[in-house]
A and B are shown apart, each in its own frame.
Chain A
Amino acid sequence: MIDRRDPAEERLGWLLCLPSVMAMLLVTGYPILYAVWLSLFRYDLRFPDQRAFVGLANYASVLTSELWWESLFNTLIITLGSVALELVLGMLLALVMHRVLFLRRTVRASVLVPYAIITVVAALAWKFAFDPVTGFVDPWFGVERAWLAERWSAFLVIILTEVWKTTPFMALLLLAGLTLVPQDLLDAARVDGANAVQRFFRVTLPLMKNAVLVALLFRTLDAFRLFDTVFVQTRGAQGTETVSIVGYHTLVTRLNLGLGAAVSVLIFACVVAIAVLFVRGFGASFTTEEHR
């Protein structure tokens, strides 16, 4: 294209982007600013008359409450557990999809099934499977256990559900990275006597670094927002509340908008921190390939 700016083209560009930008500002930009504003007030919808400016008092009460730190801890446990498992399983899945010819279409199709299923449905399916009254898991393993009635076994079921549902997405992102690894390089390594494990860790993995980081970033942020699975499986009971569940309960169940807004802003800050950590700390980059 010619490198000069045509005012008419410039105007048209903005005109075409305007509706999208407006929608994004209206439904996310404005509410997040409003949340910051609300978080400075004592504002409980059940006692609307007592609305008053309280400065940072809401943040103080969230940050000194045990519930917030426990839910942050839970969220981090579930996030780390599921993303780590997903990375390993997703990589194996990607390798299988990359290599197979046998049933190739069946494999690719069945991998998309978990992606297509509503999270609430997946969470219920696993909940019923692990249920001591209806489920097949206990008899299969010869145990009698109420998995969701105890904190750590509940984490296990939640992580399993998350991993089942989102590994395919991870695998597809990794597969796209895998197809970029040149076969000659792998053949050369093989001729030089590298075994399969060495070829993977010394050749394939370094070449896929960016694909892995982008997949990890997307999944980490996604896991950090975890809500559906926990809500359906435990409703946050047995000390399994995640930060999103705490935010939801404060806002929607207890109708405490001031306190809930403070929780929202803190979650937002955590998400920004994670994104910065990935981009600065690990050098993840999405811009180079996309913005050209």
Chain B
Amino acid sequence: MTLHGGLLERLFWRAGTLLVVVYALLPVAWIVSLSLKPAAALNDRRFLPRTISLEHYRAIFSDAQFPAALWNSIGIASIATVLSVLLAMFAAYAIVRLRFRGRQLVLAAALSIAMFPPVAVIGPLFELWRTLGLYDTWPGLILPYMTFTLPLAIWTLAAFFREIPWDLDQAARVDGATPLQAFRYVIAPLAAPGVFTAAILVFIFAWNDFLFAAALTSTNAARTVPAAIAFFTGSSRFELPTGSIAAASVVVTLPVTLLVLLFQRRIVAGLTAGAVKG
């Protein structure tokens, strides 16, 4: 890179690098710091805590609301991810490997749903779910999450599946492998990274959603973490429980951040797959 760059240029890019890191991490550091401040120091307006206390973490886990929301979030996001990726695998395989009328139609439908404003369906879904008894239940959130992530999953998987040398399974068959063995030892390992990438992206979407959770749930039965945090109420209704909110935020942020950092290469590949390929 800096093969033809001077010292000044090198310094410029290094400063840029540091700026990028600070930019990305500043609010995260702030919310962690806030969650560790003792209640009395919450209003000291300092960026870093002077003394560290875990009282807010103890508080959120001793209350019923947050553990319930965490469990709902984990369960709903996981089930939606499995279903979405499973359905998308079938569709992506068909789109990449088979010739049939309507391939373009499926891709176009997926694309238009990617652009669809979710707020346009919450009214009808609200009404429909109440009639069907799905309001404030796990399936009531799993269904919309699954659907709204299908486009992302189909496009990501199709982009990955296109790169797989499918003829290898013919070769394995010629060498005497059964169809199942050919799939198990040849195709599955090649397809796994794409499936895994799609799963992470779908999971992050479902984990992040607030609109459906706010509109289609009302109690601890199905309310997920983003909605629980947004509707957290403190001891007095005029005061936001800042410390509890910060601690809950850190608890839900850390696992996903770790996941993203561990699999950054795949996520980058997945996010940009298909969007801008030459």
Interface of A with B (CB < 8 Å)? 1, 3, 5-6, 9-14, 16-17, 19-21, 23-24, 26-28, 30-32, 34-35, 38, 92-93, 96-97, 99-103, 106-122, 124-126, 128-129, 133-136, 138-140, 164, 168-169, 172-173, 175-177, 180, 190, 210-211, 214-215, 218, 221, 224-225, 227-228, 231-232, 243-244, 247-248, 251-252, 257, 260-261, 264-265, 267-268, 271, 275, 286, 289-291
Contacts and interface: CB of A to CB of B under 8 A. Distances in A.
Interface of B: 1-2, 4, 13-14, 16-17, 20-21, 23-25, 27-28, 30-31, 34, 42-43, 45-47, 87-88, 90-91, 93-95, 98-104, 106-107, 109-111, 113-128, 143-144, 146-148, 150, 154-155, 158, 204, 207-208, 210-211, 214-215, 225-227, 229-230, 242, 245-246, 249, 252-253, 256-257, 259-261, 264, 267-268, 271-272, 274-278
Given A20-B87, A119-B226, A121-B249, A289 B278 contact: yes
A31 B17 CA distance: 46
A275 B115 contact: yes
B120 A27 contact: no
B124 A227 contact: no
A133 B116 CA distance: 39
A176 B267 CA distance: 13
B99 A9 contact: yes
A194 B211 CA distance: 49
Given A101-B1, A252-B215, A120 B230 contact: yes
Pairs A-B, 3 closest by C-beta atoms: A13-B100, A16-B94, A31-B124
A113 B122 contact: no
Contact of A5 (B100, B116, B123): B100
Nearest to B155: A290
29 contacts: A5-B100, A9-B100, A13-B102, A21-B109, A23-B147, A24-B150, A26-B147, A28-B113, A31-B124, A32-B120, A35-B123, A96-B16, A96-B17, A100-B1, A107-B17, A107-B20, A119-B226, A121-B226, A134-B34, A164-B23, A168-B24, A215-B275, A225-B117, A225-B118, A244-B117, A251-B122, A252-B215, A271-B116, A290-B274
Please classify the interface of chain B as helix (H, G, I), strand (E, B), loop, or mixed, using the class held by over half of its residues: helix
Given A16-B91, A21-B109, A228-B210, A120 B229 contact: yes
Contacts of A92: 16
A227 B230 CA distance: 12
B204 A35 contact: no
A248 B24 contact: no
Contact of B104 (A116, A190, A291): A291
Contact of B106 (A17, A117, A265, A289): A17
Contacts of A267: 117, 119-120
Given A136-B30, A227-B210, A252-B122, A214 B275 contact: yes
B249 to A, nearest CB: 4
A30 B264 CA distance: 37
A99 B128 CA distance: 52
B25 A136 contact: no
A6 B99 contact: yes
B14 A134 contact: no
Contact of B276 (A20, A168, A180): A180
A100 B16 CA distance: 9
B214 A20 contact: no
Contacts of B34: 125, 128, 134
A249 B2 CA distance: 54
Contact of A180 (B115, B123, B249, B278): B278
Contact of A117 (B2, B242, B257): B257
A17 B97 CA distance: 12
A180 B110 CA distance: 26
A35 B124 contact: yes
Nearest to B103: A13
Contacts of B211: 227-228, 244, 248
A112 B261 contact: yes
A100 B13 contact: yes
Given A26-B147, A34-B124, A138-B45, A231 B20 contact: no
Among B34, B126, B274, B276, residue most surrounded by chain A Cβ atoms (within 10 Å): B276
Given A27-B148, A264-B122, 20 more contacts: A6-B99, A20-B106, A20-B110, A21-B109, A24-B109, A31-B121, A38-B124, A99-B2, A108-B264, A112-B261, A117-B256, A118-B249, A120-B230, A124-B230, A124-B245, A136-B30, A136-B45, A173-B275, A251-B122, A289-B278
Among A31, A110, A116, A122, residue most surrounded by chain B Cβ atoms (within 10 Å): A116
Given A20-B106, A290-B274, A125 B121 contact: no
A70 B268 CA distance: 38
Given A20-B90, A101-B1, A271 B117 contact: yes
Nearest to B100: A13
Contacts of A286: 111, 275
Contacts of A173: 271-272, 275-276
B120 A109 contact: no
B121 A35 contact: yes
